[in-house]
Amino acid sequence: MEWPSFSDAYEKLVRRMNTPRVVVDNDVCPTATLIKVDSARKRGILLEAVQILIDLNLTIKKAYISSDGRWFMDVFHVTDQFGEKITDERSLSYIQQSLSAGNDSRPGCSDDLTVLELAGTDRPGLLSEVFAVLTEMQCSVVEAKVWTHNGRIASLIQVKDEDSGSSLVDSQRIHFLEGRLSNVVRGDADDALASARITAVSATSVTHADRRLHQIMSAHRDYEQTTTENHSGSQSAPSISVQNWIDRGYSIVNVQCRDRPKLLFDIVCTLTDMEYVVFHGTIDTGGDRAHQEFYIRHADGSPISSEAERQRVILCLQAAIERRASDGVRLELCTVDRRGLLSEVTRTFRENGLSVTRAEASTKGGMACNVFYVTDSSGLPADPKLIEAVQQRIGLESLKVQEMPPATAEHRKPSWSSGPREESSGAAGLFYLGSLVKRNLYNLGLIRSCS
């Protein structure tokens, strides 16, 4: 009999002692379910909790984050995807179990399929060409996520062999597929040569698809402005400020923008991957606006140290917020899956002058459920007549319009989101931020309402 080593036994003991304590309460707040997580502080603990909540399709309306010494406490006010409290006992129990187990609760891919990581310069019709190659190479798409932002594209496409229904095991075939797709992504543009990248990996190695897409986009520097679009005058553009609180050794990140699902995850994911630790924070939403502020330091305990670093944080957070922005008309395709379906649908988009800005595709039980956000080829709102023509070709019963672009009229903003803070008012801003966080943190364990 082989006895476990002392180090293995010690690590298991530490994990048991540091298991997060989770309280789920429906009595404190009349409009949301309160979830309180107490845990030993460890790197990435906040991202881990937020990731679990968004994977359960919960919307975080408010949150308070506090790290005191070696202990970490988060309080989340959440609703379901319809804006309602979670009342089903089985759902509440599952939420509690998932957060208590941490990363151990997140299932990996049940099938050892092949994932293609695609990154490069975006152009109209590119996605259609990619799916055409996969169809020609007899690869069935099981799941796919596609993001485009600032002239770049990132995608994770989970494929299997059409005949065997399993992962691609022939290394020669995989290498040939990577070469074919690389040529498609590069196209004729000289500047795309260095940035195009296709990599085939095992599905089990992709720990979280959305986080991986953020990493791919960031690695290809999509936060750098390459288009002629100017966000500075847009009402929907995020307002982000970063200031140092010298006395306490923190950098304070303040984000004000339009609210949407998974916003908190996108911001925390970016800060974590940039090697920052969130010690305190508050998240508040009202109407269609979100206000988030975080007290951060580097992993070594130091605050942001230069103007260049401060600007990079602002640009990276802006990119993280915008990547998932739902530009364009939302089209939902639900139909019986068949060979070459995605190639056919995206080719129809291309032939009618539509570009896909974001997409999610999945197949289950012989059915394909796909979501596409489309604009015209120049990124402007698509002509409704074009959308109708595409529906006629694909099938009115299969392809449905779920959302049209928001009205161009300016949204009325709350008083706290009237615009970016002026640098000259830094001292007053820090006083306000410090007072707000201090007030919320004192009340973490004594919350009696959502106000």
- Mark whether 130 and 89 lie in a shared domain: no
| CATH code of 21's domain | 3.30.70.260
Longest dimension (CA), the chain: 73
The mean pLDDT value for 251-280 works out to 96
Same domain assignment for residues 220 and 144: yes
Number of structural domains (the chain) is 2
- pLDDT greater than 80 at residue 113: yes
Q: For strands 250-258 and 71-79, give the pairing.
A: unpaired
Same domain, 38 and 138: no
Q: Can you give the residue range of the structural domain that contains 165?
A: 114-225+328-403
Q: What is the pLDDT of residues 90-104, one digit of tens each?
A: 999 999 998 888 655
| One domain, residues 209 and 332 | yes
**Based on the domain organization, do 67 and 162 belong to the same domain?**
no
| pLDDT for 49 beyond 70 | yes
Count how many Cα atoms sit within 13 Å of the Cα of residue 115 in the half-sphere of its side chain: 23
Pairing of strands 197-202, 114-121: antiparallel
Report, as an integer, the average pLDDT of 408-416: 34
Contact 335, 368 (CB under 8 A): yes
Which of 105, 136, 154 is where one domain is finished? 105
Question: Whose structure tokens read 């305190």?
Answer: 280
The band of 423, judged by pLDDT with boundaries at 50, 70 and 90, is: very low
What are the angstrom distances between the C-alpha of 248 and each of 13, 214, 240, 297, 310?
A: 34, 31, 21, 11, 18
Residue 9's pLDDT is what?
Answer: 57
Average pLDDT rounded to a whole number, residues 139-160: 94
Does 407 have pLDDT greater than 50? no
